[in-house]
Amino acid sequence: MTKVEEKNAEQSYDVIVVGGGPAGLCAAMYAGRGMLNTLVIERGLPGGEMLNTDLIEDYIGFESIKGPELANLMANHAKKFGAEIIMDTVESIARRDDGDFDVITQLGKTYRAPAVILTAGGTPRKLNVSGEADYAGRGVSYCAVCDGAFFKGAVLAVVGGGDAAVEEADYLTRYAERVFIIHRRDQFRASPLIQKRAFNNPKIEVVWNRVVEEIRGDENGVNQLLLKDTVTGEESTLAVGGVFIFIGFSPNSGLIKGHFEHDAGGYIITDSRMMTSIPGLFAAGDLRVQLVRQITTAVGDATTAAMAVEKYLSEKRDREQEHGKQEKEAVAST
């Protein structure tokens, strides 16, 4: 065996899980229970978006738990069953001619496995308005838990109308003097319970039917938003010391090299086993086409995917053994 082959052999696994959020950690736990040699590659600390969530109150069995605490519990559970978790950023996933996958990372590593479970979630969507990039980290944020404490006593704006936006607005009131929720429509998409909590919070004021046209500021950071009325087209300004943007995520499905079935938004289409249109490549969690995206749906997807991988690898071994047997019989008969 050459040194290159030896290196590749040392970096070979039964299954590679790309992404260490709830879907990835659950998949790793089940794969480990199935006695599969499992690698999890996560660009940051294990936990994904749970690390950016203060309180989780909709995960069955936990009436209320801190996001980082649940992330730690999940990571330890996966490790207990032998999963290896490393911090690196996956740059591409490519299927080889022999059916295995090469997973290439930012640190220049190549990991190989006959099956991959992609659970890389998504990237926060940006408003793509003037000033957003200029003031990123100086008043523009996409994570209330990460940055909320920097805005004690400030007036803040939250852009969005889904669960994340309304929930994070409520969270920010523990630091801010006042929080405006700016939503392009006249009603939220957030769940009724989350809406009720926000409406009952005296520090929150909703600005309906408005979109952000520009984020303005100076050397000290953000100080004003230019808003446009979605009904009348009228423009107005709002003085704020920071803006938190929660308008959804774009799926990280671009890691896949080669054609795969997806919807118009880039979300991956899978079958009932969570397998994509590429044999051996499975997807679970937020980057998969589905009605809702919650921790519960992520771990459900992951459970199915991990068990399907076990069956897929078993059937693959059986086929290879049968093929080898047929080749031997063919040689013997000549």
Cα 278 to Cα 264: distance, rounded to the nearest angstrom: 18
And the tokens for 329?
Answer: 């019989």
Cα 255 to Cα 239: distance, rounded to the nearest angstrom: 40
And the tokens for 83?
Answer: 């999963």
Nearest to 103 by CA among 253, 250, 257, 251: 257
And the tokens for 84?
Answer: 């290896």
Question: From the DSSP assignment, how many helices (H) and strands (E) are in the chain?
Answer: 7, 21
Under a CB-based contact definition with an 8 Å cutoff, are residues 243 and 212 in contact? yes
Q: DSSP alpha helices (H): ranges in the chain?
A: 3-10, 22-33, 67-80, 144-147, 163-172, 192-199, 295-333
The SS3 call for residue 75 is: helix
**Would you list the DSSP string of 228-290?**
EETTT--EEEEE-SEEEE-S-EEE-GGGEES---B-TTSPBP--TTSB-SSTTEEE-STTB--
Catalytic residue set: 143, 146-147
